[in-house]
A and B are shown apart, each in its own frame.
Chain A
């Protein structure tokens, strides 16, 4: 199912534990490194780089492929995609093959065929969003940064405390 709403994204993040990040970079000024580093240090998600050119990022073991990850760690809850749109279809096939529950296409990673394929295979699909920004939306990070989280609530935050 393609997830469109804020609450669907919140629920997906709440029920997920593992993220396999395809295309994670060790280059400190690359967006994928920012996202990786944020999830590793701040969030409650267990993030793993998938990159055949790296052994590890910041001490977290990298796997050369989703298949290699799944062989050791089992199916990831979310496959987070930092690839060129044209390469997203192959990543989607691999995500389906390893039994990923959701696929998250980062900003600009828009491939209609890949989206339709993942949707048809029963994965939850998020398109043209950033998993760091959406995590920060619910953990108070966007608010701290003066950004519009869109959250209106009179419930005291605890479930997504930044210090979880």
Chain B
């Protein structure tokens, strides 16, 4: 009788999964394999590789040893069967969509997603013949009501960016499964430290690894992680259950069983879109992942301090942090985000658009930029930046109010973060109200940056 299996903890796995010592050299740190291509042992070996009958590296667009180390690590942390990395979060979710849907098909997604995702789904995918219905992400029955016979997947974010809404993952997954489709969850703002959607019934997790996974605002990257539990061969996804002309009529579901989705995502979608992750970026993300559990804990500690500080300020009209008393998402956060409701949230200034602008202009420690999930604290005022073309009514229509400020709370000393916020709040309160922005065409879309 052999010893019982030891279950390693998340901090250990964040350091080790996917990156044992390099078998060729013994290097303890992950080597960066800057090689476009990899030699075959023989013509027979090459044939086996191209037929997908054996594992190995061919060309870095399809797979690269440094990138696959990242893939295994994020798959391990999310508790998935495997992962496919991509050049960015948007490339990753496009890979997930194209692996399960084609022209003539349909998706159902929460309406309160990151704006870049909404644009990808409702503009770019629409041009490719894939329709998307946006529904109230807080209502699982709204997902059910939008399901069509040609619906291929449902999509939500664990924590909505920037609204901060927390998805009822298990309830939405149950609705999706009742309609024979998988639930895809963007887990970027929670990271697997705070929430592991696959444990709650989701089938696929997508990440912008650019954010907390990388954690230092350096490299762009993305990944999809799949559970291996969704029945792709059940008939609802002919791209996986019918012979594929993209791979000499192989039936992925029959040939690869639980690995069908990941194999097709890599060997057909990544192969043909070319949206692969650079090994340099994979390495930077792997450096970040080593400290992900420690960083997320510290991000959450600081976020709680900042949220509570802001909630008490009279210059502040509201704070949308799911852990705060009065948040409509408090119960869901207890269920899905018991280790913390993340470190990205919004608040509103009583002084409206002008106060928002003045607040930002008076900050000296918080970085004013369009990203989240950096070790450094970040801030943006959507009404004067990403959404500046819209007037107040138009802003409200897309869920962004003129007074709204988004924070991504970093790892600085919290006293310093509060010192900077305090000064800027006081100065913003003195700012004169400005005239409303001139009306412009609603069809002009805001710039989609994080």
Which residues from chain A sit less than 8 Å from chain B, CB to CB?
1, 5-8, 11, 28-31, 33-34, 37-38, 41-42, 107, 130, 133, 136, 140-158, 161-163
Contacts and interface: CB of A to CB of B under 8 A. Distances in A.
Contacts of B76: 148, 150
Contact of B21 (A29, A136, A150, A156): A156
B68 A29 contact: no
Contacts of A153: 16, 20
B342 interface: no
Name the 6 nearest CB pairs between A and B, nearest first: A146-B71, A141-B55, A147-B82, A148-B75, A157-B23, A156-B21
A130 B23 contact: no
Given A29-B249, A153-B20, A38 B2 contact: no
Tell me which of A6, A34, A107, A145 has the highest count of chain B C-beta atoms within 10 A of its own C-beta: A145
Contacts of A30: 255
Tell me which of A1, A11, A141, A152 has the highest count of chain B C-beta atoms within 10 A of its own C-beta: A152
17 contacts: A5-B2, A7-B2, A29-B255, A31-B254, A31-B255, A34-B52, A41-B54, A142-B72, A143-B68, A143-B72, A145-B266, A147-B71, A147-B81, A147-B83, A148-B75, A148-B81, A153-B20
Given A37-B54, A154-B20, A156-B23, A147 B262 contact: yes
B68 A144 contact: yes
Given A153-B16, A157-B20, A146 B257 contact: no
Contacts of A149: 72
A125 to B, nearest CB: 14
Given A146-B83, A152-B20, 17 more contacts: A5-B4, A7-B2, A7-B5, A29-B250, A34-B52, A141-B55, A144-B56, A146-B75, A147-B71, A147-B81, A148-B75, A149-B72, A152-B16, A154-B28, A155-B20, A161-B23, A162-B55
- How many B residues touch the partner, as a band? 35 or more
A161 B41 CA distance: 14
A48 to B, nearest CB: 18
B259 interface: yes
A21 to B, nearest CB: 14
A40 B18 CA distance: 26
Tell me which of B22, B52, B72, B76 has the highest count of chain A C-beta atoms within 10 A of its own C-beta: B72
Interface stretch (B43-51, B115-123, B148-156): B43-51
Contacts of A144: 55-57, 63, 65, 68
B376 interface: no
Contact of B12 (A1, A152, A156): A152
Nearest to A140: B23
Contacts of B41: 163
B80 to A, nearest CB: 6
A130 B69 contact: no
A41 B45 contact: yes
Given A41-B45, A142-B55, A158 B75 contact: no
A143 B69 contact: yes
Contacts of A136: 55
A157 B45 CA distance: 21
Contacts of A155: 20-21
A152 B262 CA distance: 22
B442 to A, nearest CB: 42
A145 B69 contact: no
Given A41-B44, A157-B20, A146 B5 contact: no
Given A41-B45, A148-B82, A156-B26, A34 B255 contact: yes
Contacts of B72: 142-143, 146-149
Contacts of A147: 71-72, 75, 81-83, 259, 262
B51 A28 contact: yes
Nearest to B45: A41
Contacts of B249: 29
A1 to B, nearest CB: 8
B3 interface: yes
B53 interface: yes
A41 B17 CA distance: 27
A38 B53 contact: yes
A137 B382 CA distance: 47
Contact of A145 (B17, B68, B251): B68
Nearest to A36: B53
A105 to B, nearest CB: 14
Given A37-B53, A38-B53, A148 B23 contact: no
A122 to B, nearest CB: 14
Contacts of A37: 48, 51, 53-54
A130 to B, nearest CB: 7
Contacts of B2: 5, 7-8, 11
B11 to A, nearest CB: 12
A146 B250 contact: no
